[in-house]
Structures are given as C-alpha cells and as structure tokens.
C-alpha cells in the first residue's frame, strides 16, 4: 500500500498563513458590507462581553487600512513561525493569542475596544527573535536576527503614545511571544513529531 508523502513544512506554512490572511480579508469584507458590526467583538477590558474578544479579536480589524497594514507582516512572520515546525508554530500562535488577549482584557483601559492581528505580529516578532537563542540552532538564530533587523523599529509600538493604536495589544502580544519561546524551547522533537 503506497504511503502518502507529507508536504514539506515550508509548504504547509505557506498554505496555512495564506489561508489565515484570506480569512482576515473575508471577515473584513463581510464586516464592511454589513456596517461594521464585527468591530464590537474586540477585546473590551474587564467586561464579560469583552472576553469574547480574546478568542476573536486578532481576526478582526477596524477597516481596510488597518488590515492592509497588518497583511504583509502576518504573511511574513506567520510563515516564519510555522516554517520550522508546524506544530510548534501553531502552539506558539495559540500562546501569543491567549496571553495577548488576556493581557489586554486585564490591563487596558475599561471602555476601550481592541482588535487586530498586530497582537500576533508582535508576538511572532519576539518569538522568532528569542527562540533561536534558547534553542541554539543556527538557522533559527539567523531567522531571529533577520526578523530583529527588519522589525526592531516596530517594537517601539509596545510603548504608549500613538492615539488609536493598542499599545497594550502590542505589549502583551510581545509578552506572549516571549512566553511561547520559553515554553516551546527544547526538546523540539516532541513538537515536530506532531506535524
């Protein structure tokens, strides 16, 4: 009986990341066409309804400009996070998603509303930079250095200051990335076996 060959991780990473971006765009198209009702499902700090945002806010955006600004970083960083191990990349993304969302829900200003994939973007940046050094793998170190050189300026987004930008989402996404890098560092084999 012939065995099915599994696609290489980089191909799986490209499909998953591209599929995620398609979902983001479809959600924003539906949201815009229906008068933006999905915007209400962002993280709303310390409110019961706002907890829903922890689960869905990274997939929602406040208009096409917001989504356009996040699309290329999601494609690049999401792909890099998954390309060296699908299972580990998905677990890292889940950790970033939850830590980032709960951090915003607990510590951001009550009455505010936070949405957008930037919580993942900041988490992926920190995850990619930190994981190579924790794992001591040359390829991952090179990826981390390249990501740092490309996106280090963006990391200033964890500081308060720009009106209408969820610096809390950026900050707690970055914290989630550090947590994910630590939790998922060696032994890598147990995550790769899940691919």
Domain assignment present for residue 35? The answer is yes
In a domain, 20, yes or no: yes
CB 101 within 8 A of CB 53: yes
pLDDT tens, residue by residue, 154-172: 777 666 766 667 789 899 9
Q: By residue range, what is the domain housing residue 41? A: 9-192
pLDDT digits (tens, 9 = 90+) for 5-44: 678 889 999 999 999 999 999 999 999 999 999 999 999 9
Residue 164 lies in a domain: yes
3 in a structural domain: no
- What's the CATH code of the domain at 178? 1.20.1540.10
Using alpha carbons, select from 70, 75, 83 the residue that is nearest to residue 165.
70
3-state helix, strand, coil in the chain (%, to 5): 70, 0, 25
> Is the distance from CB of 62 to CB of 89 less than 8 angstroms?
no
Q: Classify residue 187: in a domain, yes or no.
A: yes
**SS3 for 114?**
strand
Q: What is the CA radius of gyration of the chain?
A: 17
User: How much is the pLDDT for 50?
Assistant: 87
- Say if residue 194's pLDDT is above 60: no
pLDDT of res. 188:
47
| Residue 2 within any structural domain of the chain | no
Residue-averaged pLDDT of the chain? 89
Over residues 138-165, the mean pLDDT reads 81
> How far, in Å, are 7, 88, 100, 177, 194 from residue 191 at the CA level?
17, 5, 22, 17, 5
Distance from chain centroid for Cα 4: 31
Tally of domains in the chain: 1
Summarised one tens digit per residue, pLDDT across range 91-132 is 999 999 999 999 999 999 999 999 999 999 999 999 999 998
4 in a structural domain = no
Looking at residue 164, its pLDDT comes to 67
């Amino acid at each position: 009986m012939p065995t099915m060959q599994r696609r290489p991780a980089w191909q799986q990473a490209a499909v998953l990341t591209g599929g995620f971006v398609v979902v983001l765009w479809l959600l924003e198209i539906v949201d815009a066409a229906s008068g933006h009702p999905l915007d209400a499902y962002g993280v709303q700090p310390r409110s019961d309804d706002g907890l829903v945002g922890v689960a869905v806010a990274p997939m929602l955006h406040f208009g096409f400009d917001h989504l356009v600004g996040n699309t290329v970083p999601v494609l690049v960083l999401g792909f890099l996070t998954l390309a060296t191990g699908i299972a580990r990349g998905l677990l890292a993304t889940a950790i970033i998603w939850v830590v980032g969302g709960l951090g915003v829900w607990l510590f951001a200003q009550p009455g505010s509303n936070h949405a957008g994939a930037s919580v993942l973007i900041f988490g992926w940046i920190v995850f990619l930079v930190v994981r190579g050094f924790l794992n001591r793998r040359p390829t991952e170190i090179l990826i981390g250095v390249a990501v740092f050189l490309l996106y280090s300026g963006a990391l200033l987004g964890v500081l308060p200051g720009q009106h209408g930008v969820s610096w809390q989402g950026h900050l707690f996404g970055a914290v989630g990335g550090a947590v994910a890098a630590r939790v998922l560092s060696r032994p890598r084999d147990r995550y790769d076996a899940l691919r």
